[in-house]
Structure 1
Amino acid sequence: MPPSRDDDNATEERLRLLVGLVVVLGCCAAAGFAAFALRLPGPLPTPLALVGLCGFLIIAHKLRVHVRVKSSMDSNTWGEVPVLVGLTLLPAHWVVFCAITAGVVIRCLDWRGLQKTAFGVAKGALTTSSAAAVFLAFGVQADLSEPPFPVIPIMVALAAFILVDHLAFVPVVSTATASGKWQVALHDWTSKVILHFGELVAILSVVGVLATGTDPVLLLGVPLVVVCMHLWQSRSVRTREERESWQRLAKATDELNAVDLTQVLHSATTRAAQIFSAAEATIDLAARSVRATGSQVLADGPQAAARSAPPDETTVDLVAHDGSVRVGVLRLRFGGTVRLTEVEQYKLRTFASAVCTAIRNAQAYAELARIAAENAHAAAHDPLTGLANRRRLYDHAEQLFRSTGHSGLFALLLIDLNHFKEVNDTLGHAAGDHVLCEVAGRLRASAAPGDLVARLGGDEFAVLFTGLPTPALAGHRATGMLAALDAGIEVEGMQLTVEAAGGIALAAGTGSVEELMRRADIAMYQAKRAGEQTVVYAHARDTADLERLMLTGELRRAVAEHEFTVDFQPIVDLGTGEVMAAEALARWHHPDQGSLSPVRFLETVERSGQLPAFADAVLEQSLIARQSWREAGFDLPVAVNVSPRSLLDPTFPSAVLARLAKHDVPPNRLVLELAETLTISQLDVVERTLAELRNAGVRLAIDDFGTGVSSLSVLSRIPVHQLKIDREFVAGVETSTEAAAVVRTTVDLARNLHLTVVAEGVESEPQRRALWALGCVAGQGHLFARPYSAARFLGILQRGCGGRPGVLAVALHDEGSVIRMPVRRLPNLPA
């Protein structure tokens, strides 16, 4: 995290106080020696001596080890040599005066601001004054013509000079760089010790030659020694700095192997300042800029407007190794004019390339993370409304079932919109989508914190209530959520009212998400049937056969062990009593529960993965039975009920035709009975499947005709051959004019469409006669025979009625007394 402005201000304030303290102490030291000079005036040194000492101080200061450190207030110079030599030649106050003068000249020539200039001059005054005080304390008398050779005072004065220099230098640099004081003081201490020892040798050599009157030519060797030591120290320091720099570069490269872009940028800027000893490092990307020192990040935000680069700034493009991709610019500001060596330039390019790679990796990871988050969100949310989808709801509910630490109860509210199909059919799907989005928004807004609102599909929504203190609160919350749907919804300038029914199921201590959903679904349909807004699931009102659900695990065994059998009921000509066909009715001979009718198990089979095997077993047994009847002389068509789910299977037609070919049964001797009330919702798929079967010659029939909501739509889209009137109308055909009207209308419709009509559930002779009078030619029911096995069915056919095989009832008329008239076609009516 970048430091706050308050932290920066506090650091600057401490730095100003420390610099001010050094300046004050330097001024006091200078004033003290000025007062000392006024009290004890002596002979004025020659101007040449003063100028020479000042020049010597300036030259010594320029002999600094050229290393780019974090602060320009460095003390690694040879300034101690001219000061201590001068103290043996000139009075102490003149040496202090020359040091201050030389310091002012040096700082003015290398101007770096008022604060640094004042600090450098004051530090020079303090260090020179400390060495001069030592000489005065030891009573050393300076003499330009016959200088003394005070070895001990020189050593003590050098120690005082070094100590005062560090006392003034270390706190300031430590504050400016946010480094530890001991870290600054002990930095490169071995080189400093060698440097100070060389200074001592140089001082003693110069003073010894001057004091002993030795040949002055020997003094020419002192600069040579100083230069050699200076070059050696510079080389050793540079070598060490290069080694440490490469180590820092390697460490920085490792740190750049991060996946967070912010972490990469912060690490890269701070490490760049450390590796290249820059005052500040900045990375500019397309829309972001990060600036840092070697210890902290100073700024991280939008990139500022373009500016001209200052003279102390070095820039390098952040490009890949091959130069193909440029992601930004790295800027290094050194606080002074610096020329990088060839090795340093190579190192900078290497670092820039590593930073470029790290930035691209972080950006790529961020993009992958964004895509993964979008995919995860899409997998768990409805694309239209943005609500959680069925998978998310199930996962969340499963977690609640497994969790033992959640507080309170939880419940499921299942919501279904009433008459929503009319919105789609009347206004179009775009309007329907608008209504669904508005409903989703209202449910989301009315949900309590922690509740999960989901869209399961179509116009069905669900809300998972959590943290319920009492079961009764579930009903209260559900009422409030459904009340949020009462306000009208404006669609294409019209106000629509949304009505909904909700079923509530409380989660039991043990159970599953599927069972919770099943209970809520039962409660919701109970609410729809009762015309109520919400109904809470109650076990006593659960009309579902729970034992039937237990049969799911036994289906595979039932198919494998041929527990599914087929019984047959004849379809009879109502006029003659002759058997026209047979309908196959599946039975499950359960080893524990006995014979189960399709009502008990068909829904379970349809929801399992055993439906293809079940349908194939029923068709196989039906065709085998038909073959046995044909061999006995009864070539009857057989009708087999088809599950709507089978019609959605694209392999179903080929499987049926393969079975017919296997048993050598003509396709027109097989009738597939379709449930009209279920196939209407999947007409687009069903049409293709049934067209393939019809084109092959298989005959089709609509079962329970008249009970669906779109009977005429089914007839117009499904190419059928036969209609089977539901037993509900057959039961009232002799007593109800409405039922008789339905039968008459169905017969007339079938006659005009060239279809045959079969009445189901014929239980009595009056019903038979009434149906015959209305024009219905065929029927089935207990009046003629109950469902029997294939063998018993064959026996009934052979035995017949009145000694007539294949006839199960007495004819309603004498043979030949009825003349069938051709269908009279009406002329086309004008439009």
Structure 2
Amino acid sequence: MSDDAIALGDDKDLMSQDRNVDNVTDQRLRLLVGLVVVLGVCAAAGFAAHALRDPVPPPHPAVLAGLCGALIIAKLVKVHVRVQSNLDSNTWGEVPVLVGLTLVPAPWVVFCAVTASLVIRLLVRAGLQKSVFAVAKDTLTTGAAALIFLSFGVRADLDDPSFPMLPIVVALAGFIVVDHLAFVPVLAAATGGDLWQVALHDWASKVILHLGELVAVLLVVGVLATGTNPLLLLGVPLVVVCMHLWQSRSVRTREERESWQRLAKATDELNAVDLTQVLHSATTRAAQIFSAVEAAIELAGRTVRATESQVLTDGPAPAPATAPPDETTVDLIAHDGSVRVGVLRLRFGGTVRLTEVEQYKLRTFASAVCTAIRNAQAYAELARIAAENAHAAGHDPLTGLANRRRLYEHGGRLFDAPSHSGLFALLLIDLNHFKEVNDTLGHAAGDEVLRQVAARLRDAAADGDLVARLGGDEFAVLLTGLPTPALAGHRATGMLAALEADIEVEGMRISVEAAGGIALAAGTGGVEELMRRADIAMYQAKRSGEQTFVYAHARDTADLGRLMLTGELRRAVAEHEFIVDFQPIVDLGTGEVVAAEALARWHHPDQGSLSPVQFLETVERSGQLPAFADAVLEQSLIARQSWRDAGFDLPVAVNVSPRSLLDPTFPGAVLAMLARHDVPANRLVLELAETLTVSQLDIVERTLAELRTAGVRLAIDDFGTGVSSLSVLSRIPVHQLKIDREFVAGVETSTEAAAVIRTTVDLARNLDLTVVAEGVESEPQRRALWALGCLAGQGHLFARPYSAARFLTILQRGSGILAAALHDEGSVVRLPARRLPNLPA
């Protein structure tokens, strides 16, 4: 058994265990080492007493010197392989001990063994603890063999040696057993390994080695005892060398194989997505594979240190220091050499020179660690981006509150799995006169006001409530855990009270007023119905001048018939009950048709033809708006293609709900449908409601810019009826203004109406826009509009809305002219057929 594999295997184990294992293991190790030392001292004392009691003349000093030399040489000829944290070595020290016992008295053999062990400790400069343990163990093993010789009555005789075969076999067995009893428990305690696993490690090669030792001893003793030709002793070194070379090769091959297997296992363990797990596994495995006292991985701002059994530290990188002489470092570089992520450091507790194979193995391991770290970092970055995207998808970027999507998802979960902790309700909040903040102080100030309002609502919300910004100056709060319906009003009043304190923006103190609508969760209808009811209650609060208003079914203008329509919308879209009629837009001067406006109708199987006024609000609040908008646009483009095929290349105007413009997928759907029907983008006019609020404009500007860039024409419908006409014009890049029918109706009798039309026409002329008058019912209205500079109009004077086929028939019947010209052909230059300056080309 090994000398250099004593007491923790080598100094690395002593240093590592003394510092890093827990106190229980350390105490146990010290007790085992102390026990061996005490037994060794007792064995030495016993043989000293035996020598005094039965004195024999000492052998010639040359004999003792030769025996010591043989012991030293036998112990220095060893198999030296680094495995894990142990130095696995095997020597031939048993051979000179057993031969010496047949030639020299037992006490002198023990003395020579102790002397040889001390000399070896001095030669290898081992530590005190290790040296004491080694001497004690050699004393025990040699003493055990000597005791067996004495018990068999074998008397040593240098001149006439005997051939005690049985004592030799038993003494060798005793030597091996005592060596294992002294060494294996210490090694198992030092490495934390299983006792039996350590004892049976590589048992087959050890058995063969010991058989070789037995053969060598029997050969030497047999030659000496029988007086056979001494030249036969020359075969002993040959046997020893052959056995040594065989064992060296066997052990090294086995250990290399196991080392690569450990490396492969460690590489598999690195296939983790958590960076901490990768670093902890890599450092502990590095210490195991390369027999290091300690391994460390240094990344940017982070260092992980570990032994083969546990992680020591994981935290910020320490200040740079001079590397100790027993440290080996390798950069963690990717296979292609393009990225360096850190450094792997190995400390061995002594000077160690890695072999070429070990260096290659270290580089391979470092490359695998680098790849694992980069993979974990990439996964962490992807997880971070995914979390950010998930957060962005459900939160308002300005205020950080939940957005409409998350509100609907959360509310849907509440409807699907009602909580047993109470009722829930929706509070819809709209800021009063918020437009004035934007118009007076600018949008940056308006954004700051919205952020402060959001913060106050968030602070005032109870645990479990969800505060959301729906867009613009509209907020919503899902009130949860309500023990009684009455508490919803109390909670809502408290939240609005949080907004009463002045807000300071750009050195000015602004008072924020708000109105809130409360709707308790209904048994049916889901989040859409809850939102509709809260919206109705909010507008009732605004109209009545109250701060909050609770939804009451009796005041709901959406009667039972409208609720029934809500449930029938999906069927109507699927069965194509929505149809589109078309009203011509006419050149007021020539009477020629220059465009057509699409007007949706619902052919209800029970209620007949329903106008948009009767169902559009229901569609917008039902969640069926995208499907409805697609159906109307599809029919409009199909009709337009049929007119073009007949020779009438007319633009078609389609009304767009503000809610459609809030959908980021809307532009893509429109452009895809244009491409599918091969319709140029400039032949489609999207009519926008002039009643778009400034807060809605903040959201739809990007949508409209994308459509305009693609070539789609934009028009403002019912221009002049809202309170933000100029604000809308300044924000939306439109091509056309449509004058509301109430101004057209009073153009002959009301100077105010005429002034509005004249101002609109002048404004449009300055902005290079076209103007279309709606609701032209009589020739006097037509002439008055023409006199004011309005060039186009639509109304019952020219034609009522018709189906696409009927519209085409009318066009063909009159060759595209629906009214007589207002001027003589000889005095006015005629415009090109079916074209009008500045109208959509």
Take 1:408 and 1:259, find their aligned partners in 2: how far apart are those partners? 41
- Residue 748 of structure 1: CA displacement? 5.6
Partner of 2:5: none
TM-score normalized by the length of structure 2: 0.73
Q: Which residue, 363, 376, 383 being the options, matches 1:369?
A: 383
Partner of 2:564: 547
**Matching of residues 119-268 of structure 1 within 5 Å:** 119-268=133-282
Q: Which residue type is aligned with residue 495 of structure 2?
A: M
Q: Which residue, 28, 32, 45 being the options, matches 2:59?
A: 45
Partner of 1:21: 35
Q: 1:220-278: CA deviations, max 9, x gaps? A: 22122112111111111111122222333333333333333233333333333343444
Take 1:119 and 1:105, find their aligned partners in 2: how far apart are those partners? 14
Contact 2:272 2:376 in 1 (8 A): yes
Say if 1:711 and 1:105 are closer, same or farther in 2 by CA, change over 3 A: closer
Contact 1:647 1:686 in 2 (8 A): no
Take 2:247 and 2:629, find their aligned partners in 1: how far apart are those partners? 91
Q: 1:512-565: CA deviations, max 9, x gaps? A: 222222222222222333333333333333222323434533654796685869
Say if 1:313 and 1:406 are closer, same or farther in 2 by CA, change over 3 A: farther
Contact 2:516 2:547 in 1 (8 A): yes
Contact 1:273 1:332 in 2 (8 A): yes
Q: Which residue type is aligned with residue 390 of structure 2?
A: A
Say if 1:312 and 1:527 are closer, same or farther in 2 by CA, change over 3 A: same
Take 2:638 and 2:314, find their aligned partners in 1: how far apart are those partners? 76
Q: Which residue, 549, 558, 561 being the options, matches 1:535?
A: 549
- Residue 608 of structure 1: CA displacement? 5.2
Return 513-522 or 308-317, whichever deviates more: 308-317
Supply the RMSD in Å over aligned alpha carbons.
5.0
Contact 2:579 2:602 in 1 (8 A): no
- Residue 205 of structure 1: CA displacement? 2.0
Q: 1:163-186: CA deviations, max 9, x gaps? A: 111112111111211111111101
Indicate yes or no: 2:427 matched with 1:410. Answer: no
- Residue 729 of structure 1: CA displacement? 11
SS at match of 1:410: strand
Say if 1:396 and 1:585 are closer, same or farther in 2 by CA, change over 3 A: closer
Partner of 1:812: none
Take 1:475 and 1:500, find their aligned partners in 2: how far apart are those partners? 15
Partner of 2:409: 395
Partner of 2:13: none
**Matching of residues 526-675 of structure 1 within 5 Å:** 526-544=540-558, 545-550=562-567, 552-553=569-570, 555-556=572-573, 590-604=604-618, 607=625, 609-611=627-629
Say if 1:282 and 1:700 are closer, same or farther in 2 by CA, change over 3 A: closer
Say if 1:421 and 1:321 are closer, same or farther in 2 by CA, change over 3 A: same
Take 1:13 and 1:59, find their aligned partners in 2: how far apart are those partners? 35
Say if 1:50 and 1:790 are closer, same or farther in 2 by CA, change over 3 A: closer
Return 679-688 or 436-445, whichever deviates more: 679-688
Take 2:100 and 2:245, find their aligned partners in 1: how far apart are those partners? 24
Q: Which residue type is aligned with residue 535 of structure 1?
A: F
- Residue 321 of structure 1: CA displacement? 3.3
Take 2:499 and 2:447, find their aligned partners in 1: how far apart are those partners? 16
Q: Which residue type is aligned with residue 445 of structure 2?
A: A
Matched residue pairs, number?
715
Take 1:9 and 1:699, find their aligned partners in 2: how far apart are those partners? 84
Q: Which residue type is aligned with residue 484 of structure 1?
A: A
Indicate yes or no: 2:481 matched with 1:464. Answer: no
Return 265-274 or 751-760, whichever deviates more: 751-760
Take 1:467 and 1:3, find their aligned partners in 2: how far apart are those partners? 58
Partner of 2:829: none
Return 335-344 or 364-373, whichever deviates more: 335-344
Q: Which residue type is aligned with residue 723 of structure 2?
A: V
Take 1:91 and 1:3, find their aligned partners in 2: how far apart are those partners? 40
SS at match of 2:314: strand
Q: Which residue type is aligned with residue 315 of structure 1?
A: T
Partner of 2:534: 520
Take 1:711 and 1:294, find their aligned partners in 2: how far apart are those partners? 76
Take 1:620 and 1:208, find their aligned partners in 2: how far apart are those partners? 115
Contact 2:600 2:632 in 1 (8 A): no
SS at match of 1:132: helix
Indicate yes or no: 2:438 matched with 1:424. Answer: yes
Contact 2:715 2:738 in 1 (8 A): yes
- Residue 691 of structure 1: CA displacement? 13
Q: Which residue type is aligned with residue 569 of structure 2?
A: T
Partner of 1:324: 338
Say if 1:612 and 1:273 are closer, same or farther in 2 by CA, change over 3 A: closer
SS at match of 1:709: coil
Partner of 1:381: 395
Q: Which residue, 59, 74, 97 being the options, matches 1:83?
A: 97
SS at match of 1:66: strand
- Residue 10 of structure 1: CA displacement? 3.4
Take 1:4 and 1:429, find their aligned partners in 2: how far apart are those partners? 68
Say if 1:375 and 1:96 are closer, same or farther in 2 by CA, change over 3 A: same
Q: Which residue type is aligned with residue 496 of structure 1?
A: I
Say if 1:20 and 1:684 are closer, same or farther in 2 by CA, change over 3 A: closer
Q: Which residue type is aligned with residue 277 of structure 2?
A: Q
Take 2:254 and 2:166, find their aligned partners in 1: how far apart are those partners? 34
Q: Which residue type is aligned with residue 378 of structure 2?
A: A
- Residue 82 of structure 1: CA displacement? 2.0
Take 2:688 and 2:339, find their aligned partners in 1: how far apart are those partners? 65
Return 288-297 or 366-375, whichever deviates more: 288-297
- Residue 43 of structure 1: CA displacement? 2.1
Contact 2:80 2:87 in 1 (8 A): no
SS at match of 1:399: helix
Contact 1:73 1:116 in 2 (8 A): no
Take 1:585 and 1:244, find their aligned partners in 2: how far apart are those partners? 82
SS at match of 1:143: coil
Say if 1:193 and 1:24 are closer, same or farther in 2 by CA, change over 3 A: same
Q: Where does structure 1 lack aligned partners over 5 or more consecutive residues? A: 572-582, 625-639, 657-666, 731-739, 763-771, 777-783, 792-805, 807-831
Contact 1:258 1:362 in 2 (8 A): yes
Partner of 2:301: 287
Say if 1:558 and 1:13 are closer, same or farther in 2 by CA, change over 3 A: closer
Take 1:224 and 1:429, find their aligned partners in 2: how far apart are those partners? 98
Q: Where does structure 2 lack aligned partners over 5 or more consecutive residues? A: 1-15, 589-596, 643-652, 675-682, 763-770, 778-783, 789-795, 804-818, 820-841
Q: Which residue, 503, 507, 521 being the options, matches 1:507?
A: 521
Partner of 1:55: 69
SS at match of 2:29: helix
Q: Which residue, 446, 452, 456 being the options, matches 1:442?
A: 456
Take 2:90 and 2:505, find their aligned partners in 1: how far apart are those partners? 83
Partner of 1:811: none
Say if 1:109 and 1:528 are closer, same or farther in 2 by CA, change over 3 A: farther
Contact 1:318 1:329 in 2 (8 A): yes
Contact 1:68 1:278 in 2 (8 A): no
- Residue 358 of structure 1: CA displacement? 2.5
Q: 1:669-689: CA deviations, max 9, x gaps? A: xx9999654588759899999
Say if 1:256 and 1:593 are closer, same or farther in 2 by CA, change over 3 A: same
Say if 1:726 and 1:747 are closer, same or farther in 2 by CA, change over 3 A: closer
Q: 1:409-465: CA deviations, max 9, x gaps? A: 433332222222222222222222222222222333333333332222222222233
Take 2:717 and 2:89, find their aligned partners in 1: how far apart are those partners? 107
Say if 1:151 and 1:540 are closer, same or farther in 2 by CA, change over 3 A: farther
Say if 1:532 and 1:754 are closer, same or farther in 2 by CA, change over 3 A: closer
Q: Which residue type is aligned with residue 553 of structure 1?
A: R
- Residue 122 of structure 1: CA displacement? 1.7
Take 2:313 and 2:691, find their aligned partners in 1: how far apart are those partners? 70
Take 1:314 and 1:714, find their aligned partners in 2: how far apart are those partners? 71
